Amino acid sequence: MAKLVTLQATYRIVTPMFLGGANPTTDPPELRPPSIKGALRFWYRAIDPDYREHEAGIFGGTGKDEGQSQFFVAVSDVLKKIGPRNDDRWNRTQTAYLGYGAIVKSLTTRPYLDVGTSFTLSLQFKPCIETADRVRVAKALWALSMLGGLGARSRRGFGSLAVLSDGSGKNPKDMEDLPSLTPRDEKDLIARLKSFFNGLPRPAGLREHTSWSTDARCVMVCRSADALTTLAWLGREMHDCRSYRGGRAQPWVTADHDLMHDFINKGIPPTVPPLRAAFGLPHNYFFSSLDKKKGGIDFMNGQTPSRRASPLLLRIHEFASVSGAKKSCVVATFLPAKLIPQNSKVRISGDGQLNQFKALPDNFTAVSDLMDRLAKLGTEI
């Protein structure tokens, strides 16, 4: 039997990871190969505009002639550090703002894998896989390792990873053209990101799904702090940009607030959906000034509320300086795509008001404003 070709990397978790089994609120957190493979599939779609031609043949599918996946995912050498459910470590911090859902009222809703957890990830390819398809998977792994994370709220900086070793000496020749997964510092990281992006196709126009295009942006902001401190800083930046009570409220923030306030308080139907819907749906409002009344925006899958993931992906990198002090960077990747499918609707609702259904225009002003703010503080890649 021909020997399996293996691509391997060892990781350390640098921000808490909410990744679990079928019952994440009660089951111990675990690094599940299907979850990792799902993240690899997302990044493959994000960086290859021709993914429809190759995806089923690489990752497997249920359609005619699609068959099984051409590689296996294995997790080994796991050293876990577990954070508990109902942990209040982020009480009164804007880190909880980034973790909404996994963190509610400053308490974690499930156990999680804490900072310092390490593991080795192996991708074992079948002997029959084409070289070009191995390269496609390797690029997806690179993007996941350097731009993404794993688990709930990974688009908001949770579940970020540091690569301890990428096994580059053992990788097949056709994968050695990719930049190393172990940048030494922020300048090295910028160089490696630029090199990777330069090797990607950049189709023009707004895509149907979250993916790299001529409209995509990547910004990096570095700070002299560890990853958790930088995550808290990022939460404050996000809150100040998006919140009506934030320190740098943009015109669209006030307009969104007034639109939902008048709808809930006076029954005035919105003429347009709030622009902050571009950050992803559902999106909720809470008005303490209106006796704690609530409102919300939902993407509707037919008559059922559903989700639209954010086109903004936030990732934390951490480095150790020569002196031993920690430095870390935020990498913000904006992959604009059509906010909702054609002919779909969003539902705007509020306490005591009938639902209002509106189309959702592809207006990314809210996300672009945040990206511009981060670019002023850091480097546009």
Domain ranges of the chain: 5-182, 227-380
The DSSP output letter for 209 is S
Return the residue matching tokens 């990792």.
Answer: 36
pLDDT computed for residue 162 by the predictor: 93
- pLDDT of 171 reads 46
Q: Which residues, at least 6 apart from 47, have a Cβ–Cβ distance to it below 8 Å? A: 139, 140, 143, 200, 211, 212
> What local confidence, expressed as pLDDT, does residue 195 receive?
95
Residue 89 carries which side chain, given as an amino acid letter?
Answer: R
For residue 221, give the H/E element and its range. strand 217-223
Q: Is 140 helix (H, G, I), strand (E, B) or coil?
A: helix
User: pLDDT value at position 353?
Assistant: 79
- Check residue 322 and give its pLDDT: 62
- Opening angle at CA 108, ends 84 and 119, nearest 5: 55
- Paired strand residues for 318: 328
CA separation for the pair 161, 204 (Å, rounded): 31
Q: Which residues contact 325 (CB under 8 A, 6 or more apart)?
A: 224
Q: Which pLDDT belongs to residue 248?
A: 67
Q: Residue-wise pLDDT tens for the chain (381 aa)?
A: 456 678 889 999 999 999 977 777 777 899 999 999 999 999 999 999 999 999 999 998 766 666 789 999 999 999 999 999 999 999 888 999 999 999 998 899 999 999 999 999 999 999 889 989 999 999 999 999 999 999 999 999 999 999 987 665 444 455 568 898 889 899 999 999 999 999 999 999 898 889 999 999 999 999 999 999 999 999 999 988 888 776 666 889 999 999 999 999 888 888 888 999 999 999 888 888 888 888 999 999 888 889 999 999 999 999 876 667 789 999 999 999 999 888 889 999 988 777 888 888 999 999 999 999 999 999 999
H/E/C letters for each residue in 145-160? Answer: HHHCCCCECCCECCCC
9 CB-side CA count, 13 A:
20
